[in-house]
Amino acid sequence: MTSILTADGTPLKDSLYKAEKGRRVKAFLLVAPLLLFVLVSFVFPIFEMLFRSVDNPVLAKNLPLTIEKLQKWEGTNLPDQETFTLVAKELLIARENSKVGKIAARLNFEAGGMRSMINKTVRKVRKYKGNDYKKALIQFDKRWGKVVTWKVLKRIGQRYTGVQYLAALDLKVNADNTIGFQSEDRRIYVKIFLRTIWVSFLVTIFCLILAYPVSFLLATLPLRISNLLLIMVLLPFWTSLLVRTTSWIVLLQRNGVVNDILVALNIISEDGRIQMIYNQTGTLIAMTQILLPFMILPLYSVMKTISPSYMRAARSLGASPLKAFVRVYMPQTTPGIGAGCLLVFILSIGYYITPALVGGRSGQLISNFIAYHMKSSLNWGLAAALGTILLFAVLILYYLYNKIIGIDKMKLG
Amino acid sequence: MVFPPHLGIGGKIAHYSFILFCGFVFVFLVAPILVIIPLSFNAEPYFTFTEGMISFEPEAYSIRWYADIAKNPQWAFSAANSIIVATCSTFLATLLGTLAALGLSQSHMPYKSAVMGVLISPMIVPLIISAAGMFFFYSNIGLAQTLPGLILAHAVLGTPFVVITVTATLTGFDHSLTRASKSLGADSRKTFFKIQMPLILPGVISGALFAFITSFDEVVIVFFLAGFEQRTIPRQMWAGIREQISPTILAVATILVVVSILLLTTVELLRRRNERLRGISKS
């Protein structure tokens, strides 16, 4: 038994020397299969994916000698003849391995138009018979004669890069290697991060406002009635997310139930139907309803334990009902408020499905942009950088949750 | 409602507005789910109540959208996939999760809080990040676009629920019961299966149901890991909502609501049985 664990090499090694080692080993062995499963198929893949945000292999692997040579180049004048020869030769090798497309695409992410430059150069170098590659390349495309082009090449050639993080924060490296803002029309991600935080904040606040009175009611009613009402809270919890999102589309669209009722009640006119879906309003309404149970349940479980005699004591000592509630009851519910708010905020900051379906343009959150770069633009580096920032935020909140409330106190239904 | 005599008119108004507000919240919680049930029987392809429906004319209702589901083999195919994936991943998640919970609830467990943090993380990490990570991982080991890949991915997502519910059941577990069993001559295997297992079974089953519904409802991972051959019901619904939302979606949604009501009832009954068995019922 001991040998299994030393081979494992875990920190357990230390505890093996202590008393009760057999029981510790037994307990750990029960946990080990799941821990291994989660580490191998969940934690490790996520780290590997996030590594893509700094990983930058395309140029470093396909034009290795050129890049190595450029590291010594000081960047004031054009590189020497030898560098030109190297890049021409290595582009031809890359062509044989059909890697030119990758190189061109990578450069094009950085500076528009470089794709055509690379493709044109490769085409012409193939037919070139001479030896003066410097002259030839500049003749094929005059951008080879500019220092800026080589600076881009040198920068993109670095094996590891922080450039995706700059892009994720709407920054970029200028041609002269200084850091500056993206052009006005390309500054989107900071805005999206702020919007994600704002939407999550609003959803949390709405959930708290709606959940607090309901939890209070549930906690003060006789158990038989509150159990029945609790089922109404749990039903949305158990109903498919897609079903709930679908119902909100049905309810809120222009010709939907809510607009019909408002028209029938003469609150709005037939032409004045309100657009409540496919925008940020739709995202807010749907997310609030979907996450509400996650606020009610922790609040309810805390309020259930508060004895009514505290309130009675406060009243008998002369406090008004409001004062007794605010000064005596509410402070005792803080653990529930903390747990509910953190949980709802953590869940909403990474929300994807509902904003994608009912968010329209103004309701898209950061997860939707990560999905876009993963599935459509295939800019995995940027997706990974955005994901790392999001994950970091969530992990900080998760850590706080664990510290303040304790993850083992989490209850489901 | 009987008010205490000292309650003034202001207190009554406050009380009634409080009740009204709570009523509104309950409607907000449940109405969106219930409203699609009658709408799925709409004879017209509209998403709102027609005049015929409001005046309860029988011809305004029809089961044509349910017939549509039956006619379209794609739904049956997705349902089969969903059930296979959810069942297998639930089995895996329940097995691993229950073992882990048994270990975690022992006082000798080293690094308990850190291990628990790792085990619960699949529930906390935003799905899109999990999905992206798993996409590369399962592509590398050749399991992307296969059912086993999807099953493993869903199993990871389901385990936190099993760990949480079973650990919660075990916190109230009276360890003198196992000592009593052993002192009466039962070996540890017999003690586990005869004493411990029946008592934690409700927790295990509700954890399993949570894992099942998690997989059954999951669409983001499916989005990244599944090809056309592995389409599940949520994936099919997603396509329906995205492209052209037809009342057939409402019919499917209604079926899913009925399934979730059944699951919820089972969990509630189990929870009560569990409380009764352990003698902590307050009612």
Whether B233 and B121 map to the same domain: the answer is: yes
Q: The whole model's pTM is what?
A: 0.84
| B91 shares a domain with B47 | no
Instruction: Closest CB to B268: pick one of A23, A231, A398.
Output: A231
Is B107 in the same domain as B225?
yes
Q: What is the pLDDT of residue B107?
A: 78
Structural domain spans, chain A? 2-45, 57-158, 190-409
Q: Which residues of A touch B137 (CB under 8 A)?
A: 41, 44-45, 48-49
pLDDT digits (tens, 9 = 90+) for A53-110: 888 888 888 888 888 888 888 878 888 888 888 888 888 888 888 888 888 888 887 7
Report chain A residues whose CB lies below 8 A from the CB of B249.
246
Distance CA A67, CA A137 (A): 17
Quick check: is B283 in a domain?
Answer: no
The answer to whether residue B282 sits within a structural domain is no
In a domain? residue B144: yes
**Which of B128, B153, B217 comes nearest A370 by C-beta?**
B128
**Does the pLDDT at position B87 exceed 60?**
yes
pLDDT higher than 90, residue A344: yes
Of B129, B223, B264, Cβ closest to residue A238: B264
pLDDT, position A359: 87
B30, part of any domain:
yes
**Which residues in chain B (229-248) have CB-CB distances under 8 A to chain A?**
234, 237-238, 241-242, 245
A289 touching B (Cβ < 8 Å): yes
Smallest CA–CA distance from A388 into chain B, residue: B129
Please, are residues A196 and A366 in contact by the beta-carbon 8 Å criterion?
A: yes
Q: Is the pLDDT at A19 greater than 50, yes or no?
A: yes
Cβ density class A4-33: b for 16+ within 10 Å, e for less: ebeeeebebeebeeeeebeebbbbbebbbe
Please answer yes or no on whether A257 and B48 come within 8 Å at the CB atom: yes
Same domain (yes/no): B102, B41: no
CB < 8 Å from A in window 71-130 of B: 96-97, 99-100, 102-104, 106, 108-111, 113, 115-122, 124-130
Residue A18 contacts B where some CB pair is shorter than 8 Å: no
What backbone torsions phi and psi does residue B81 show, to the nearest 5 degrees?
-60, -50
B52 and B159, same structural domain? no
Where residue B100 sits, what CATH number does that domain have? 1.10.3720.10
On whether any CB of chain B is under 8 Å from the CB of A254, the answer is: no
ipTM of the shown complex: 0.88
Residue B110 sits in the same domain as residue B249: yes
Q: Which residues of B8-21 are buried (b: 16+ CB within 10 A; e: fewer)?
A: eeeeeeeeeeeeee
Per-residue pLDDT for A407 more than 80? no
Q: What is the pLDDT of residue B5?
A: 62
B51 within a domain of the structure (yes/no) = yes
A190-409: CATH superfamily: MetI-like (1.10.3720.10)
Which residues on chain A are in Cβ contact (under 8 Å) with B99?
30-31, 33-34
Do B39 and B161 fall within a single domain?
no
> In this structure, are B222 and B92 located in the same domain?
yes
Give the span between the Cα atoms of B9 and A406, in whole angstroms: 44
What pLDDT, in 10s, does the model give residues B139-189?
999 999 999 999 999 999 999 999 988 988 887 778 888 889 889 988 888
Scanning every residue of chain A, which has its alpha carbon at the shortest distance from the alpha carbon of B143? A41
Complete DSSP assignment for chain B = -PPPTT--HHHHHHHHHHHHHHHHHHHHHHHHHHHHHHHTTBSSS-SS--HHHHTT-GGGB--HHHHHHHH-HHHHHHHHHHHHHHHHHHHHHHHHHHHHHHHHTSTT-TTHHHHHHHHHHHHHS-HHHHHHHHHHHHHHTT-TTSHHHHHHHHHHHHHHHHHHHHHHHHHT--THHHHHHHHTT--HHHHIIIIIHHHHHHHHHHHHHHHHHHHHH--HHHHHH--GGG--HHHHHHHHHHS---HHHHHHHHHHHHHHHHHHHHHHHHHHHHHHHTT----
Confidence of residue A264 (pLDDT cuts 50, 70, 90): confident
* B55 and B137 share one domain: no
**Does some domain include residue B19?**
yes
Quick one: pLDDT band at residue B283, thresholds 50, 70, 90? very low
- CB contacts < 8 A, A to B, total 281
- Domain range for residue B31? 9-60
Distance from CA of B178 to the nearest CA of A (A): 16
- Answer whether residue B153 is part of any domain: yes
Q: Please indicate if any CB of chain B lies within 8 Å of the CB of A248.
A: yes
B114 within a domain of the structure (yes/no):
yes
Question: Residues A211, A215, A221, A225: is their CA dihedral positive or negative?
Answer: positive
A-chain residue closest to B158, CA distance: A38
Across the interface, do A240 and B234 touch by the CB < 8 Å criterion?
yes
